Amino acid sequence: MKNSKKLLIICLSVVLALSFVLAGCKKDDRGEPSPTSSNDGGGKENLMTITAFISRAGTNPTKDNRIYQKIKEAFNVEFQFEYVVGEIGERVGTMTAGGEYPDIIGVQSNEANQFIDAGAFIPLEKYINDKENFPNLNRHYGELINRIKHDDGHVYIMPNYGVHYGEHRQNENWGPAFWIQIAVLKEFGYPKIKTLDEYFDLIEKYVEKYPEIDGQKTIGFIVLTDRGRDWTLRNAPSHLAGAPNDGIVIVDQETKVAEVYQHKDISKRYFKKLNEAYNNGLVDPEGFVIDFDQYIQKLASGAVLGLFDQRWNFNKANEALHQQGKYDRMYMPVPIVFDESIRDWYLTRPELNVNSGFAITTSCKDPDRVMRLFEALLDEEWQKLLQWGEEGIDYLVDEDGMFYRNDQMRKEQQSPDWKLANKADDLFEFAPKLEGTYSDGNATSPGLQPIEYFEGLTEPEKELLTAYGVQTQGQLHSTPPENPLYFPAWSINIPTNSVPATVSQQMQDLAFEYLPQIIMAPTSEFESLWADFVKKHEELDIEAFEKHINEGIQRRMTEWAK
């Protein structure tokens, strides 16, 4: 095929370039790249197996995965993945205690500091600043380097999202929202629901009408209580109050002062509603005891009507529903707030995903070679392979040079099993990537291509969007304003073993101890339990935590303005 020849040429070119210019670099005594070759003398580097820990649940790709095979052919590199099983904190603790790591870690912000404070990662700024040998990485992060530095001045993690090229499009919400099954909205004529009360009223009406779905008891709403994904339990009140995703604080957008809200009235309002819904039989009691995998299984059953979560976190359930043909049981976001006077701010403009992405560990056998791989994969042709696939197999090109897919291609790419054999999702998810548009005008991914987005939807999704008078899922939300300069506050570094870190842990402990009890308590006990919850917070040094976050906000306002 035309594309196969083109890719072969690209692969050979990259291999030759790496062989003659960069191949085999190793560190000299000063820790700087040295031109000494580490290959077998034949111009091609030896096979390298890169071990990678991915900080989420996952499944290994097939051994003959098409994309990983092409990477192996071009760079003589293969991957060995390990995924989270159980609590991620336990696995991270085991690694940091032993001091032995895989070559690279796909890290998320929650565990970033624990690794960094343990000395698990090597600094990466020398690569980013090396414009001659790493031009792609320099272009990608060079002007943003002050934003991605740790407090000690080093860069340890390459942000996986938030660096944009060309035109940006926001067709879907991959972040936080209240989600509801398409079937619920369709049943009642696609009503415009704006408030939390309207959301639960609709769910209650559906449960009353359909107490079972496919032979299973209908679950109105589920709350995941997983410490590694604590936003599902803790963060909803800020969004209902019209704030963007700043984590466990709300930042006053005029004064830029942050405040913890977990024990404040906006949280009381939300959890009182959950308590009412629980006592009306709408909230699943098992949500407070099951693990993440069981949570995904419940969502994938099609019996759960609603949830609060981030799309990327539960999307495997959406994919499973699609694979089963349960298209009307898939989820759509509803940007609800406490009352109609509040403007929703669930969608935000793309922000640099600081402290999330790949880091190279101190156990890595050849960090220079790994960084050369990430440098090469930032080329447009490799990005097209990672995001679109192969021309003629995964996508087609029209007479104007625009990429599109046919129905069969779209159907295949919705299948989790197909992806394990034909996509490099775990590598791509945590690696540096292009977002926006390529130099030829095509969107960097199919979901961002205007014509491809709508055509790639299922009929129930198309019907829903048409009923609401929009063409994309993103248009269901209010248009987001410009991000605040500091944004997001949740990515501000909190040093391990510091007072703010201790307070943060204490607040999380209180949330997981008290909030499930508060939700499941008889309505008559809600007020007394909430009062105890607030009192416990008053015993903590929350001011020290807020002081640290506010200092971080002010530091960003100064340094990021440069």
The pLDDT, as a whole number, for residue 28 is 36
| 128 neighbors 159 (Cβ within 8 angstroms) | no
Mean pLDDT, to the nearest integer, of 263-270?
98
| 328 neighbors 181 (Cβ within 8 angstroms) | yes
Report domain extents, the chain.
48-165+352-440, 176-346+483-560
48-165+352-440 with 176-346+483-560: one CATH topology? yes
Our CA dihedral for 299, 304, 305, 308, rounded to 10 degrees, sits at -60
- Give the whole-number percent of the chain exceeding pLDDT 70: 92
Of 22-26, 66-70, 401-405, the poorest mean pLDDT is in 22-26
Mean pLDDT, to the nearest integer, of 280-306?
97
- pLDDT tens-digit profile of 84-93? 988 888 899 9
- For 75, list phi and psi in degrees, rounded to 5: -120, -5
Mean pLDDT, to the nearest integer, of 267-281?
98
| 415 neighbors 422 (Cβ within 8 angstroms) | no
- pLDDT tens-digit profile of 510-523? 999 999 999 999 99
3 state SS of 311: helix
The pLDDT, as a whole number, for residue 43 is 60
Kindly tell me if the per-residue pLDDT of 179 is higher than 80: yes
The band of 34, judged by pLDDT with boundaries at 50, 70 and 90, is very low
CA distance 179 to 268: 21
Peptide bond into 61 cis (omega under 30): no
For residues 124 and 447, the model is more confident at: 124
Kindly tell me if the per-residue pLDDT of 453 is higher than 80: yes
The class that CATH gives domain 176-346+483-560 is alpha beta
For residues 221 and 172, the model is more confident at: 221
How does DSSP assign 440-453, residue by residue? TS-BSSGGGSHHHH
* H-assigned helices in 211-331: 231-234, 236-240, 265-279, 292-300, 311-323
Of 224-233, 423-432, 448-457, the poorest mean pLDDT is in 448-457
Mean pLDDT, to the nearest integer, of 293-304?
97
Mean pLDDT, to the nearest integer, of 437-456?
91
The pLDDT, as a whole number, for residue 170 is 85
Kindly tell me if the per-residue pLDDT of 27 is higher than 80: no
| 412 neighbors 398 (Cβ within 8 angstroms) | no
Kindly tell me if the per-residue pLDDT of 160 is higher than 80: yes
The band of 456, judged by pLDDT with boundaries at 50, 70 and 90, is confident
The pLDDT, as a whole number, for residue 31 is 36
For residues 268 and 493, the model is more confident at: 268
CA distance 239 to 244: 6
The pLDDT, as a whole number, for residue 238 is 98
The pLDDT, as a whole number, for residue 86 is 82
CA distance 78 to 76: 7
CA distance 144 to 129: 11
| Mean per-residue pLDDT of the chain | 91
SS (H, E, C) 52-95: EEECCCCCCCCCCCHHHHHHHHHHCEEEEEEECCCCHHHHHHHH
Mean pLDDT, to the nearest integer, of 483-500?
93
Of 2-16, 111-125, 184-198, 252-266, the poorest mean pLDDT is in 2-16
For residues 170 and 329, the model is more confident at: 329
Question: Residue 439 CB: number of other CB atoms within 10 A?
Answer: 9
The band of 18, judged by pLDDT with boundaries at 50, 70 and 90, is very low
Kindly tell me if the per-residue pLDDT of 451 is higher than 90: no
The class that CATH gives domain 48-165+352-440 is alpha beta
- For 321, list phi and psi in degrees, rounded to 5: -65, -40
Of 9-23, 130-144, 283-297, 540-554, the poorest mean pLDDT is in 9-23
Kindly tell me if the per-residue pLDDT of 188 is higher than 80: yes
- pLDDT tens-digit profile of 312-345? 999 999 999 999 999 999 999 999 999 999 999 9
